[in-house]
Amino acid sequence: MPATSTPTQQEAGAGPAADGVTHVKVCGITEPREIDLLAAQAVDFVGLWYGVPGGPADLPLSDWRQLAAAAASTERLAPVMVTFLKDVDALREALEGSHVRWVQLHGYQMAGVVRAVKEIGPEIRVLKVLHVRGGECVEAPLIGSYEKAGVDVFLFDAVAEDGRVGSTGETLDPEVVASLAERISRPFLLAGGLSADNRSDYAQLTTHPHFLGIDVDTNARGADGKVSAESVEAILGAWRA
């Protein structure tokens, strides 16, 4: 199997990244061209949607497997299954025989789903999204249960006013995230409308001992809606400065 032992993979399961680098995940990848582009830009994670009904980047299983293999073969990129699924058997079927070791649970899965996904195999890492709507985290009461169930990394993301989650382009209130970060004992990624221009808004969060990196989608794209080398390079330059 191709090596995918990025620093993020090695460290995230045991604690925050120790190398001081802001790790970057680009989500919603649908084309091999985008895989090549991101590998050349020294991105760490690529988010591949599977089981996101109606999602613009949702992939058939065969396409998802092909892109996951392409990402892993770069020996740079760690493919991440991004899913709303709660059916662990369906997740197991997709993961078995694939190169994917990271599962991002979007939507509102309970701690039992986290535990069941971890039981798929000892190599599986769970990245659980915590949805923030206004000044409140929807899953705040479940944080302790998620950690006990085995979450490796949390991801803070914004919920749109109409309730949409995932790749909404909505931004997070840094003070709200800072208060939530004090309640977790796992590394975390930031998401929600992050760009090359708003890194300074989150400067305090980037110094938090659990800060691992960022997750981008909307602002990594050009006018044509495709992932843009120029946009990704600008984001990396700003957030890794």
Statement: the pTM of the whole predicted model exceeds 0.75: yes
pLDDT at 164 over 70: no
Rounded Cα gap, residues 2 and 175, in angstroms: 40
**Which tokens hold the place of 103?**
């599962």
pLDDT, residue 166, reads 53
Give the pLDDT of residue 18: 47
41-71: pLDDT as tens digits: 999 999 999 999 988 999 999 999 999 999 9
When mean pLDDT is compared across 7-21, 78-92, 178-192, the lowest value belongs to 7-21
Note the pLDDT tens digit of each residue in 89-109.
999 999 999 999 999 999 889
Q: How far apart are CA 176 and CA 120, in angstroms?
A: 33
Amino acid identity for residue 78 in this structure: A
Report helix, strand or coil for 52. coil
* C-alpha atoms less than 13 angstroms from C-alpha of 65 in its C-beta half-sphere: 10
Q: Which domains does the chain have, with CATH numbers?
A: 83-239 (3.20.20.70)
Tell me what the pLDDT averaged over the chain comes to: 89
Q: Measured between alpha carbons, how far is 151 from 193 in angstroms, rounded to an integer?
A: 24
How far apart (Å, rounded) are the C-alpha atoms in residues 231 and 220? Answer: 5
- Coil, strand, or helix at residue 7? helix
Asked whether the predicted pLDDT for residue 220 surpasses 50, the reply is yes
